[in-house]
Amino acid sequence: MTLEDAYDTVLAPIIKPDERYLDGSNDYFFGPNDDLANLDYDVGALLEFVVNHSPPLAKPRVVHVRSYIDNTPLPAVKVVNYRPKYTRSFYQGQTSDSGYIVILGSRVDDTVLVAGPGYLDTGQKRNSPYSWYSGVAAFDGSAVNRKYNTVYTASADGDSLEMTLDPIQGEYPAIPFADFDGISLDFRLRTMQAFPAIPTLQQLPDTGGVLDHSLVQDNNAYEATVAADDTSSTGTFRVWAVDDSADTFFFDTDFQSVALSDPLEINELFGGEHNPTLSLDTTIANLERVTVMATRYPPLREGIAPDALQAGHVHHLDLYPQTDLGAESSLAIHYDDSDLALADSTAEALLSVFRWDRQIGQWLEQPSILDTALNLVTASLDQDGTYALFTVDTPTGIDDDQGESPLPRGFRLEQNYPNPFNATTTISFALTRRSNVTLQVYNALGQTTRTLARGIMSAGVHSIVWDGTNEHGDVVASGVYFYRLTTDNATATKKMLLLK
């Protein structure tokens, strides 16, 4: 099919009648015999039909989201348009810096769900890293689900909607997990403290419909078992909970669960809203299913500095069966500039991938490569689990009044400064204890350009200058270089740019 034809046609898959709400509409196909009792059509095949170029009957509608606290706009909150007739949710994107979003093709009886961490404006910080806003309303002004949420419609046909939301009361950060055992998938939720009441869990497949699951509580953990057939697709887990004021709120965890026979099949899972790239080593064998989940809901922060910012989604990766990920597996997590709107200009350079250790119950920093042009941070994968982006804590340096350097809080490799650089640049790192250290520079081909340090170093903050030369003292060419710090128990890698 040519590119010109692609604008005139749409390919739609044949699906089973019980996978969708059947009401006589024309966005699904029964099959060649139209006999629901004898299904003989080719499930999964694509049908091609011509698109009508006339404009849609449904008009665009505008949603404006504000904070109840000070009536300021709420940017970067997720907006979903839910159509009760088909029990389907349509992701619309995020509100702009001014709190607006335009929804196309909606109907007056559709329901709008908005949820997000609630960044206010660039001059204000959130009261808590666990801040969360959510609200539900229909374009006719009904379906308000929180006491302080107010909804205003500009006209009788509901062509615009203004929602004023209050944040949840109390701090209830959580991390979602998925564990597949070959028969069913266990959805688990680990929280900082128990909710005032046991939450309810809905599963919303992208093909339509709503599946309700009962969560079982174990102190500050919750669990529900989902049949394997119900997760062999994409969709959303929606948790409904109540806060300290007994008001209802919700948060979403989107999922993809893929049965596969070739590791190459799962590259670029969650390519749309979430934008991570999952790359598995092609030597992996016997991998049957990959499940990836993503949420914007505030996570637990054990192991994270109090002032650190979290950027992008929290991602959970589950592999079945558990397998060695090889040497070439990696996860690249995307972040938006709005995630760092409350921070100074140095915050982006401090982003790093962290993995949640379920045994010790805290985040552990992973060796990461930051790409500020594409807003990506990439880390090697040696196991499945939960991953997120946080800004790392910066060492305080030497206190001249005391005459000695305080011990840093953790192992740290800093971004070189300046970067990009012309002649020389400084690489700083922090050690929590005496260690055998190697600091090397590599070119874009992975070849060693220069060894800057090798030997035993004491605990504390260290800085080393690279003058842009190789082992023979020759000046190297302009381009991208990597520097890697290796100690007795940790490794970190960062990227720098030499310009002449």
pLDDT higher than threshold 50 for residue 396 = no
Token match 């005139």: residue?
Answer: 8
SS3 of residue 246 by DSSP = coil
Distance separating alpha carbons of residues 474 and 469, to the nearest angstrom:
5
Report cis status (omega within 30 of 0) of the bond before 321: yes
pLDDT of 148-158, one tens digit each? 555 555 444 55
Token match 């590119």: residue?
Answer: 3
Distance separating alpha carbons of residues 498 and 120, to the nearest angstrom:
37
pLDDT of 180-221, one tens digit each? 988 888 999 999 999 999 999 999 988 788 899 999 999 999
Q: Report in angstroms the alpha-carbon separations of 474 from 21, 446, 450, 465, 471.
A: 70, 18, 10, 16, 7
Distance separating alpha carbons of residues 257 and 298, to the nearest angstrom:
23
Question: What residue ranges define each of the domains in the chain, with the CATH number in brackets?
Answer: 3-50 (no CATH), 61-165 (2.60.40.10), 174-391 (no CATH), 412-498 (2.60.40.4070)
CB 497 within 8 A of CB 419: yes
For 325, the token pair is: 């990920």
Token match 């499945």: residue?
Answer: 384
Amino acid at 6: A
What is the distance, to the nearest Å, from the Cα of residue 362 to the centroid of all Cα atoms in its chain?
A: 18
For 485, the token pair is: 């710090």
Q: Which pLDDT score, from 0 to 100, does residue 42 have?
A: 56
Q: Which pLDDT score, from 0 to 100, does residue 481 have?
A: 92
Residues in Cβ contact with 93 at an 8 Å cutoff, skipping those fewer than 6 apart:
78, 79, 101, 273
- Across residues 78-88, what is the average pLDDT? 84
Burial of 276 (0-12, 13-18, 19+ CB in 10 A): buried
CB 380 within 8 A of CB 295: no
CB 456 within 8 A of CB 487: no
Cross-strand bridge partners of residue 227:
184
Q: Which pLDDT score, from 0 to 100, does residue 105 have?
A: 72
Lowest mean per-residue pLDDT among 320-324, 402-406, 495-499: 402-406
CB 188 within 8 A of CB 176: yes
pLDDT of 226-249, one tens digit each? 887 666 678 899 999 999 998 899
Greatest mean pLDDT among 189-198, 284-293, 325-334, 429-438 lies in: 189-198
- Across residues 172-184, what is the average pLDDT? 92
Distance separating alpha carbons of residues 482 and 442, to the nearest angstrom:
5
pLDDT higher than threshold 70 for residue 17 = no
pTM for the model stands at: 0.69
Q: Which pLDDT score, from 0 to 100, does residue 297 have?
A: 95
Q: Which pLDDT score, from 0 to 100, does residue 126 have?
A: 47
What DSSP line would sit under 85-136, residue for residue?
Answer: TTTEEEEEEE--TTSEEEE-S--TT-EEEEEE-----TT---S-TT--EEEE
Q: Which pLDDT score, from 0 to 100, does residue 406 have?
A: 44
For 429, the token pair is: 């790192």
- At residue 353, φ and ψ (nearest 5 deg) are -80, 135
Among residues 334, 234, 239, the alpha carbon closest in space to that of 291 is found at 234
